């Protein structure tokens, strides 16, 4: 099994990078959609339904599959011999940041449910501020992996 993982490693890593890019694109875009949903949906006839559809498709078609593929490939790389040394801090830091990214994804799903239920309580400004969360986590993840501190 380990020889198989070593042979597949470049493919798994490539797929992981593509999945992370797709997932991050959604994590950056969905809070921005929420900003416009809060600020513009009530002023344009039919806009609310358009926002619902855009948010749902972004989550279901792009973000969720990308997150799942990123997680699967990431775990496959973790289990590939010689790739991760748990004696260093970087895999632990990255792991915590990835858990934070996953929490943020689920937080966004909960906010979408609030919109659907008509119970959203956050403002466009608050969504703009939350839009910085994936940026901070991305910086932590990239620095930990590249610098391997």
Instruction: State how far the Cα of 146 lies from the Cα of 129, in Å rounded to an integer.
Output: 27
pLDDT value, residue 149: 83
What residues have CB less than 8 Å from 68, skipping those under 6 apart? none
Instruction: State how far the Cα of 45 lies from the Cα of 78, in Å rounded to an integer.
Output: 49
Instruction: Average the pLDDT over 32-59 and give the result.
Output: 95
pLDDT value, residue 102: 98
pLDDT tens for 102-124 read 999 999 999 999 999 999 999 99
pLDDT value, residue 132: 97
pLDDT value, residue 137: 98
**Cβ–Cβ < 8 Å for 29, 106:** no
pLDDT value, residue 3: 87
pLDDT tens for 52-92 read 999 999 999 999 999 999 999 999 999 999 999 999 999 99
**Tokens 């990835």 sit on residue:** 98
């Amino acid at each position: 099994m380990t020889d198989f993982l070593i042979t597949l490693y470049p493919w798994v890593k490539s797929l992981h990078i593509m999945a992370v890019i797709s997932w991050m694109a959604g994590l950056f875009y969905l809070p921005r959609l929420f900003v416009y949903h809060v600020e513009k949906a009530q002023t344009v006839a039919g806009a609310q339904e358009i926002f619902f559809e855009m948010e749902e498709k972004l989550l279901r078609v792009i973000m969720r599959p990308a997150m799942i593929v990123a997680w699967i490939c990431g775990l496959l790389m973790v289990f590939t011999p010689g790739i991760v040394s748990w004696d260093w801090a970087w895999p632990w830091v990255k792991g915590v940041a990835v858990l934070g990214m996953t929490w943020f994804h689920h937080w966004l799903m909960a906010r979408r449910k609030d919109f659907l239920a008509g119970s959203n309580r956050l403002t466009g400004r608050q969504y703009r501020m939350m839009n910085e969360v994936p940026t901070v986590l991305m910086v932590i993840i990239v620095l930990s992996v590249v610098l391997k501190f």
